[in-house]
C-alpha cells in the first residue's frame, strides 16, 4: 500500500471515529462501533491504532489541526491589515468555525473530560492549544510593536483570549436559549479588542 493510500485509510478511520464519538460520546463508543462505521476489518483498525486511547489522541489532533490550519490561512490572508483588524478577524473566525462544526461539538467537552483521565489526550490538547496561542500571540506582539496595542504580556493575553472563546463555547453547548451567539461573538470581540487597544492620544486627555 502506498503512503497516499495509507493516509487515506487513516483519514477514513479518523472520520468514522469522529462520527461515532459525536453520536455516542467518547465513553460509550467502542472500537467495534468504529469498525462497523468504517467498514474496515478489526485487524486494519488495530494496525493503525493499538487501542482506543491512541485513536482518541489522533481524533483530537485531527479535529484541532483543521482548526489551526484554518487559523493560519486566515492570518496569511489578512497579513496586510492592521493588527487589531487581524485579531478581530481571527477571534470572529474562531467562534464562527466552532458554530459551523456544531453537529460534532458535543464531543468538545468530552475531550476535556478524557484529558483528566488520559495523560496522552491531555498532552494532545495542550499541544493544539499551544499552536493556537502562538498564532494569537504573534498578532498581539505585532500590535504592541506597532503601538496599536497596550504593552501587555502577549502570550498571557493570547491564552486569555483562548479561554474566553472556550467559555462562549461552553455556554453554546449547554444550549442556553438566553445566549444569542452572533451578538455574543461581536461583544466578545469588542471587549477583547477594547482591552488591548491603545487609546487614541485625544482619549487620554478626556474627562
Judge whether residue 105 has pLDDT over 70. no
Question: Which pTM does this prediction carry?
Answer: 0.84
Euclidean distance between CA atoms 2 and 198, whole angstroms: 54
Give the least confident one: 37-41, 86-90, 104-108.
104-108
Percent of the chain with pLDDT over 90: 53
CB 41 within 8 A of CB 35: yes
Do 84 and 149 touch, CB atoms closer than 8 A?
Answer: yes
The pLDDT value recorded for residue 205 is 47
State how far the Cα of 171 lies from the Cα of 43, in Å rounded to an integer: 40
pLDDT (tens digit, 9 = 90+) per residue, 173-196? 777 667 677 788 788 889 999 999
User: In the CATH scheme, what is the homologous superfamily, with its name and number, of domain 57-199?
Assistant: Tetracycline Repressor, domain 2 (1.10.357.10)
CATH 3.20.20.140 for the 1-50 domain, yes or no:
no
Looking at residue 150, what is its pLDDT?
Answer: 96
pLDDT in tens, 7-59: 999 999 999 999 999 889 888 999 999 999 999 999 999 999 999 999 999 99
Non-local (6+) Cβ contacts of 82 within 8 A are 146, 148
Q: How far apart are CA 146 and CA 133, in angstroms?
A: 20
Instruction: Parse the chain into domains and list their residue ranges.
Output: 1-50, 57-199
Using only C-alpha atoms, the chain has a radius of gyration, in whole angstroms, of 20
Q: In 3-state terms, what secondary structure has residue 174?
A: helix
Amino acid at each position: 500500500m502506498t503512503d497516499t493510500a495509507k493516509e487515506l485509510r487513516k483519514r477514513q478511520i479518523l472520520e468514522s471515529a469522529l462520527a461515532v464519538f459525536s453520536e455516542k460520546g467518547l465513553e460509550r463508543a467502542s472500537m467495534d462501533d468504529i469498525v462497523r462505521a468504517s467498514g474496515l476489518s478489526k485487524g486494519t483498525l488495530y494496525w493503525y491504532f493499538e487501542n482506543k486511547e491512541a485513536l482518541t489522541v489522533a481524533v483530537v489532533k485531527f479535529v484541532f489541526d483543521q482548526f489551526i490550519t484554518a487559523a493560519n490561512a486566515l492570518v496569511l490572508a489578512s497579513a496586510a491589515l492592521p493588527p487589531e483588524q487581524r485579531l478581530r478577524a481571527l477571534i470572529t473566525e474562531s467562534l464562527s468555525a466552532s458554530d459551523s462544526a456544531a453537529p460534532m461539538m458535543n464531543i468538545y467537552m468530552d475531550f476535556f473530560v478524557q484529558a483528566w483521565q488520559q495523560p496522552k489526550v491531555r498532552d494532545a490538547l495542550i499541544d493544539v492549544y499551544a499552536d493556537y496561542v502562538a498564532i494569537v500571540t504573534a498578532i498581539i506582539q505585532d500590535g504592541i510593536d506597532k503601538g496599536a496595542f497596550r504593552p501587555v504580556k502577549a502570550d498571557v493575553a493570547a491564552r486569555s483570549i483562548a479561554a474566553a472563546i472556550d467559555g462562549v463555547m461552553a455556554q453554546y453547548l449547554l444550549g442556553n436559549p438566553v445566549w444569542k451567539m452572533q451578538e455574543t461573538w461581536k461583544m466578545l470581540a469588542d471587549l477583547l479588542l477594547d482591552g488591548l487597544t491603545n487609546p487614541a492620544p485625544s482619549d487620554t486627555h478626556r474627562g
